[in-house]
């Protein structure tokens, strides 16, 4: 699979019918940010670096453009998107198992971007380039799939991120349809919100999606470079963010996660960092520096983020074909709503190797 550069202007080019879909990679902009930098307002300490795992390849424990990370209990799921599979690790980064493979049949994937797990152990995968959601049991056996390419209710145009609420309903960012869709556990359509735009409750390429312990829903938007917060009925509450490199600004905000205090973590992909906010959008801290070396904290287009109950934070370091682990505060996290992997890769026309 060829890597494709997304220019800073984010003028996206989509493939012609029948053209191969590939992954949008970040422009190699050396935005240097101090690992462990601290907000002058909050004095919130950034998480401490722990370890790296993965590396480019197709073998067990290796990755090609991993996008999504999701933590449930002591299990870490990684959407190994470029390899069309889901890999499973423990919280020390040790490989456990995998499933998937390239294709359109049951249990096969085409660039899966996210995993969500409900309270009874059902596993949902955003099978992004197949424009569908697949459901698996705890043993990774395929249960069902739903969705097709289109804009009608229950159809998708690049489903990217998933979140499960306390009732077991599944929310999906339908990115290129600029909306959020809601389904029950059997895939029955329940509701949809959003249309393309820049106003409150509008979206422009919604991507990240997470639900906090109070049922509030957070959505990140790639083009609008912001995060919007809604209540459990999807009524608008607030927003934060703007285009830029400063604290609280974004360049391609992708994934979202929350910890047990409902602090919100955002992968700021084109700025090669992760930012942390409180539940009202007040900036707390950031960490990350552009790099391709072996030091924890060097990142090249980080996309997914997940928070474990022991305070460990996992980041999908996508263009370095690896994942990274950091240690944050130990705050209990609700198992159904933590660790959503929300990040966006748009289909692009290949421009070279």
**What confidence category does residue 348 fall into, taking pLDDT thresholds of 50, 70 and 90?**
very low
Please give the pLDDT value at position 329. 77
φ, ψ (nearest 5 deg) of residue 81: -60, -50
The whole model's pTM is what? 0.85
What are residue 122's DSSP bridge partners?
Answer: none
Instruction: Please say if the pLDDT value at position 119 is more than 70.
Output: yes
219's CB contacts (< 8 A; 6+ apart) are: 173, 180, 203, 206, 207, 208, 209, 227, 228, 230, 256
Q: Which residue has the higher pLDDT, 40 or 141?
A: 141
Q: Across the beta sheet with 170-174, what order do the strands follow? A: 159-164, 170-174, 179-183, 189-193
Instruction: Please say if the pLDDT value at position 303 is more than 90.
Output: yes
Please give the pLDDT value at position 246. 98
How far is 210 from 230, CA to CA, in rounded Å? 11
Report, in angstroms and rounded to the nearest whole number, the Rg of the chain calculated over CA atoms: 18
Share of the chain above pLDDT 90, in %: 80
What are the pLDDT digits (tens) for 221-262?
Answer: 999 999 999 999 999 999 999 999 999 999 999 999 999 999
How far is 247 from 228, CA to CA, in rounded Å? 17
**Secondary-structure percent of the chain, ordered helix, strand, coil, rounded to 5:** 5, 45, 50
Average of per-residue pLDDT values in the chain:
85
Range from 13-22, 126-135, 218-227, 252-261 carrying the lowest mean pLDDT: 13-22
**What confidence category does residue 44 fall into, taking pLDDT thresholds of 50, 70 and 90?**
confident
What are the pLDDT digits (tens) for 273-297?
Answer: 999 999 999 999 999 999 999 999 9
How far is 325 from 234, CA to CA, in rounded Å? 32
């Amino acid at each position: 699979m060829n890597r494709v550069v997304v220019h800073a202007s984010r003028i996206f080019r989509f493939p012609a019918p029948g053209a191969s879909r590939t992954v949008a990679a970040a422009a190699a902009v050396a935005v240097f940010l101090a690992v462990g930098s601290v907000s002058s307002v909050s004095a919130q300490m950034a998480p401490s670096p722990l370890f790296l795992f993965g590396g480019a390849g197709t073998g067990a424990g290796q990755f090609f453009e991993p996008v999504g990370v999701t933590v449930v209990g002591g299990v870490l799921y990684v959407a190994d998107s470029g390899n069309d599979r889901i890999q499973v690790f423990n919280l020390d980064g040790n490989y456990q198992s995998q499933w998937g493979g390239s294709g359109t049949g049951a249990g096969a994937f085409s660039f899966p971007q996210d995993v969500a797990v409900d309270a009874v152990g059902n596993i949902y995968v955003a099978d992004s380039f197949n424009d569908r959601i697949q459901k698996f049991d705890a043993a990774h056996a395929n249960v069902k799939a739903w969705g097709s390419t289109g804009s009608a209710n229950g159809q998708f145009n690049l489903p990217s991120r998933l979140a499960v609420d306390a009732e077991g309903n599944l929310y999906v960012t339908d990115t290129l349809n600029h909306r959020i869709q809601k389904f029950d556990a059997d895939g029955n359509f329940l509701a949809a919100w959003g249309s393309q735009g820049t106003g409150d409750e509008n979206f422009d390429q919604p991507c990240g999606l997470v639900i906090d312990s109070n049922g509030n829903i957070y959505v990140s938007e790639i083009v609008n470079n912001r995060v919007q917060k809604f209540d459990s009925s999807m009524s608008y509450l607030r927003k934060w963010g703007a285009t830029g490199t400063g604290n609280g600004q974004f360049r391609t905000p992708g994934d979202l996660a929350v910890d047990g205090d409902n602090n919100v973590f955002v992968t700021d992909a084109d700025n090669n960092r992760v930012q942390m906010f409180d539940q009202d959008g007040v900036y707390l801290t950031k960490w990350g520096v552009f790099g391709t070396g072996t030091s924890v904290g060097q990142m090249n287009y980080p996309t997914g983020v997940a928070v474990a109950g022991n305070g460990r934070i996992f980041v999908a370091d996508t263009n370095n074909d690896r994942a990274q682990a950091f240690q944050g505060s130990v705050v209990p996290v609700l198992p159904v709503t933590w660790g959503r992997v929300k990040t966006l890769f748009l289909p692009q026309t290949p421009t070279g190797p």
